[in-house]
Amino acid sequence: MKREHRDWLWGFSTSFGITFLGMMVVLGAVCFLSYSKAQEKETQKQEAAALRREPDAYLPGEEDRLNLLIAGRDGEGAEPDTYLLLGFLPDRGKIALCVLPATTYLEYGGQGGTLGRLWRQGGLGYAKKGLGDYLGIPIHRCATVGPEELDALMAWSGGLLDYDLTVEIEGEAGGRRLSMSRGRWQLDGQRILDLAAYSGYKGGERERCDRAALLLARLVTRTLPVFLEEEKGAGFTETALELLDTDLSAADCLQRKAALEFLARLELPVASTVFLEGSLSRNYTVYHLTDSCKARIGEVYGEPGAEPKWKFSPGEELLEEPVPVEEPVRDEEKPPRDSGSGSRVVKDSGWPPMQEPGALERPGQGSDRGG
């Protein structure tokens, strides 16, 4: 009898223990799953909140692009001698800068001309249309900037710009005597425009424009952080719209506010330059861009997916972009006068020379007397 009672107690204890253990396992699993789901929901909430707070979660699109043609002038009413083609390309993570001389050759309306000639005929808006049509790129807006306007804009990012000048500057710019030694300088708006207009570089127009592009890229890089501060960014925009002669609107700037902040937060360099390749006319008054250079400009500033107007030669697109010129360019050296005829001839660079505007000769065609 006692044995049977003991066996019964043992069986009951065993069954109860197993049942209790099973119930605890089930309860633990339920608690664990509930806790995991709660943690997962909390993590999702935190990630969603972080995405709302984190500006880098924003990705700009192709609709945020904007190409501008900016003319640099030395004083009110002065004719621009330097044109900056600025591409705001946030979807590609960069701002592209290409400086073109006023003597840049183009064709518009069936006639050959230069950027400077189109400016004289119809102002900057006319030059913008002509250049965009010739290069096959959209140029959405244009602006004219002088030393005073540039100073006002630079004031928002710290005023004078620190700059290491690597060459001796001695000559004239804008009708003023310009003398600057090698070394570190603090540049105001007038000095920046002077360096961009200085024509005494050994490499001629190509070196002048390449150096100007690098200088302006430095200024753009310094200015971008302004847009991370609400007050400074708004002040810079209002100053630009108020002082510049431009067709840029407040809506253009507001639409790209987030894109500007996006570029300002990037750790990689944002400002990039498109260096020139070209040759001068016989009398050094017209500058021809090579097909390679025009194709490169079209590649950078063109509409995404659009058929380029200018194309690289086979294999040419694999070449690296040319470095900025600091030494004389072979096709821009000014040879001594010919003792027989007294005329100067540019060394052959594979691109036809041209005459003075007024009798412009299209590359590969006859002369255009009606231009």
What pLDDT, in 10s, does the model give residues 68-105?
999 998 877 788 989 999 999 999 999 999 999 999 99
Residues 245-251 have a mean pLDDT of 94
Q: What pLDDT shows up at residue 368?
A: 33
Confidence of residue 60 (pLDDT cuts 50, 70, 90): confident
Predicted local confidence at residue 282, as pLDDT: 81
Dump pLDDT digits (tens) for 11-34.
656 666 666 666 666 666 666 666
pLDDT at 8 over 60: no
> What are the respective helix, strand and coil percentages of the chain, to the nearest 5?
45, 20, 35
User: Does residue 211 have a pLDDT over 50?
Assistant: yes
What are the φ/ψ torsions at residue 69 (nearest 5 degrees)? Answer: -110, 115
pLDDT confidence bin for 320, thresholds 50/70/90: low
Tens of pLDDT, residues 194-209: 999 998 888 889 999 9
Beta bridge partners of 111: 108
Which stretch of 77-81, 170-174, 181-185, 308-312 has the lowest confidence by average pLDDT? 170-174
255, 64 Cβ separation under 8 angstroms = yes
CA-CA-CA-CA torsion for 13, 15, 18, 23, nearest 10 degrees? Answer: -110
State whether residue 176 is helix, strand or coil: strand
pLDDT tops 70 at residue 56: no
For residue 339, the domain's CATH number is 3.40.630.190
What pLDDT, on the 0 to 100 scale, is given for residue 29?
A: 63
What mean pLDDT is predicted for residues 331-346? Answer: 36
Domain count along the chain: 1
> Do residues 98 and 76 touch, judged by C-beta distance below 8 A?
no
Q: Which domain holds residue 128?
A: 64-368
Question: Would you state the structure tokens that stand for residue 4, as one six-digit string?
Answer: 């049977």
Phi, psi for residue 70 in degrees, rounded to 5: -115, 125
Residue 40 domain-assigned? no
* 109-118 long-range Cβ contacts below 8 angstroms, 24+ apart: 111/360, 111/368, 111/370, 111/371, 112/360, 112/361, 112/362, 112/368, 112/371, 113/357, 113/360, 113/371, 114/286, 114/287, 114/357, 115/83, 116/79, 116/80, 116/81, 117/357, 117/371
Q: What percent of the chain has pLDDT over 90?
A: 53
The verdict on residue 20 lying in a domain is no
Q: For 268-280, what is the mean pLDDT?
A: 90
Residue 40 pLDDT class (50, 70, 90 cuts): low
Which helix (H) or strand (E) segment holds residue 152: the answer is helix 147-154
3-class DSSP state of 68: strand
Does residue 57 lie in a domain region?
Answer: no
In a domain, 33, yes or no: no
Residue 250 is assigned to a structural domain of this protein: yes
Pick the residue with more confidence: 106 or 177?
106
What burial letters (b/e) apply to 79-108, b meaning 16+ CB within 10 Å? ebbbbbbbbbbbbeebbbbbbbbbbbbbbb
Q: Is 13 inside a domain boundary?
A: no
pLDDT at 285: 86
Q: Among 55-59, 144-148, 244-248, 262-266, whose mean pLDDT is lowest?
A: 55-59
How large is the angle between the packed helices 189-197 and 147-154, nearest 10 degrees? 130
Rounded to two decimals, the pTM is: 0.73
62 to each of 59, 88, 259, 274, how far by Cα in Å?
10, 10, 11, 20
Give domain status of residue 59, yes or no: no
Structure confidence by residue, pLDDT tens digits, 354-363: 333 334 444 4
- Does pLDDT of 213 surpass 80? yes
Higher-pLDDT residue of 353 and 242 is 242
Name the percent of the chain lying above pLDDT 70: 69
112 inside domain: yes
Residues 118-151 have pLDDT tens digits of 999 999 999 999 999 999 999 999 999 999 999 9
Mean pLDDT of 221-242: 94
Residue 228, pLDDT score: 93
> Which of residues 214 and 10 earns the better pLDDT score?
214
- Whether the CB-CB separation of 211 and 201 falls below 8 Å is answered with yes
Confidence of residue 66 (pLDDT cuts 50, 70, 90): very high
